[in-house]
């Protein structure tokens, strides 16, 4: 009989959290129950056992969290759970008292916002200190993030890099052929750290030289309207397409149709940073040459001049230069794409990464 673990997350699941869903679904050597305070998008992410507290606990602002913890403690005991894996720092903070009460090991994964922006808030930072002291292990999405977690006060021996992965077999590597249009793709939430405005500015500088070039922007968010205005200000509305939010299979289709992937990520003014964006992994698995920035963990996956190109954050001139170089040298797209896909297959494969995660679980289950 397989040991049972619980994956705990405050909200199950936002549309951009496919990486969590894929990781949970592909755990084979343990039985996984999902515990969540709030449920959304269950039609996008169906799972056989998702448990959430009754609504009454959410309607009591002063006692809600206490009631939720009592509820989860009861469920964990009834299900004979042997280990808790909390996704995001705030989830670890929430479930820590339950783990300590029941004497269960707690593994917490960090993903970006929970390491970069939120620690600026005193209350969250204070809670992190307690989590670092009492939690058993902390997983980060990159070595860059590992260093940040250690700077926040986590003992180095408790931090392990676990990249996570994608199902590479779902992303087909196709040889690029000359088409009527050349498509440059940007994909993600329309928030400051994605740097989409710098991508549009860079595209505006090379669009006249390459009249066949088109930019496709997939995603939505609070910055969509300003980005649309920026496109209008450069009279690029006939060359830039806003596709809005698309389900994951439609994003895969856009990647298969694209020629170049642009990810101009930046450190936001509130210090929000990326981990390693999954869309970069997916684009590289499709064999797309990637143009991105020296930001957070991105240099750990995009190797400048080998699997893509990197420029400093917010450097529109160099972004435009790298796009210009790729557009004028289509003969190198396939070579870069094959190297990129090989790297993803070797280091960021969902199945090998899930096996590594299962080995981690086994260390803490007696």
Concatenating the DSSP letter of every residue in 219-246 gives ---TTHHHHHHHHHHTT-TTTEEEEE--
In this predicted structure, what is the pLDDT of residue 327?
A: 96
CA distance 324 to 161: 35
Structure tokens at 287: 């064999």
Please list the pLDDT of the chain residue by residue as tens digits (366 residues): 899 999 999 999 998 899 999 999 999 999 999 999 999 999 999 999 999 998 755 555 656 788 899 999 999 999 999 999 999 999 999 999 999 999 999 999 999 889 988 888 899 999 999 999 999 999 999 999 999 999 999 999 999 999 999 999 888 876 556 567 999 999 999 999 999 999 999 999 999 999 999 999 999 999 999 999 999 999 999 999 999 999 888 999 999 999 999 999 999 999 999 999 999 999 999 999 999 999 999 999 999 999 999 999 999 999 999 999 999 999 999 999 999 999 999 999 999 999 999 999 999 997
Instruction: For each of the domains in the chain, give its residue range(s) and CATH number, in order of start.
Output: 4-165+349-364 (3.40.50.2000), 168-347 (3.40.50.2000)
- 5's enclosing H/E stretch is strand 4-12
- Which parts of 188-318 are beta strand (E)? 213-218, 240-244, 260-263, 290-293, 308-311
- pLDDT tens digits, 38-68: 999 999 999 999 999 987 555 556 567 888 9
- pLDDT tens digits, 90-124: 999 999 999 999 999 999 999 988 998 888 889 99
CA 219 to chain centre: 14
In this predicted structure, what is the pLDDT of residue 56?
A: 56
Sheet-wide strand order for 290-293: 240-244, 213-218, 182-187, 260-263, 290-293, 308-311
Q: What is the pTM of this model?
A: 0.93
């Amino acid at each position: 009989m397989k040991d049972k673990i619980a994956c705990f997350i405050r909200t199950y699941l936002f549309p951009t959290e496919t990486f969590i869903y894929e990781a949970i679904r592909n755990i084979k050597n343990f039985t996984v129950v999902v515990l969540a305070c709030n449920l959304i998008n269950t039609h996008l992410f169906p799972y056989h056992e998702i448990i959430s507290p009754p609504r009454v606990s959410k309607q009591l602002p002063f006692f809600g969290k206490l009631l939720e913890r009592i509820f989860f403690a009861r469920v964990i005991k009834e299900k004979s759970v042997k280990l808790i894996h909390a996704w995001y720092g705030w989830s670890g903070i929430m479930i820590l008292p339950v783990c300590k009460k029941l004497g269960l090991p707690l593994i917490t994964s960090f993903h970006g916002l929970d390491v970069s922006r939120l620690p600026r808030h005193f209350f969250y930072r204070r809670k992190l200190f307690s989590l670092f002291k009492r939690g058993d292990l902390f997983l980060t999405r990159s070595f860059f993030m590992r260093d940040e977690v250690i700077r926040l006060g986590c003992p180095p021996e408790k931090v392990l890099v676990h990249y996570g992965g994608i199902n590479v077999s779902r992303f087909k590597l196709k040889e690029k052929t000359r088409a009527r249009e050349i498509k440059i793709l940007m994909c993600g939430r329309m928030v400051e750290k994605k740097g989409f405005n710098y991508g549009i500015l860079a595209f505006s500088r090379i669009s006249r030289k390459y009249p066949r070039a088109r930019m496709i922007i997939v995603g939505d968010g609070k910055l969509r309207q300003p980005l649309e205005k920026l496109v209008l200000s450069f009279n690029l509305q006939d060359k830039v397409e806003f596709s809005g939010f698309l389900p994951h299979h439609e994003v895969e289709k856009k990647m298969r149709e694209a020629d170049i992937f642009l990810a101009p990520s930046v450190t936001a003014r509130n210090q929000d940073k990326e981990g390693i964006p999954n869309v970069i992994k997916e684009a590289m698995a499709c064999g797309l040459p990637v143009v991105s920035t020296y930001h957070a963990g991105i240099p750990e996956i995009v190797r400048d001049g080998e699997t893509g190109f990197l420029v400093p954050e917010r450097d529109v001139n160099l972004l435009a230069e790298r796009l210009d170089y790729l557009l004028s040298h289509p003969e190198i797209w396939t070579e870069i794409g094959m190297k990129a896909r090989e790297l993803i297959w070797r280091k960021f494969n969902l199945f090998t990464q899930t096996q590594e995660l299962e080995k981690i679980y086994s260390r803490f289950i007696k």
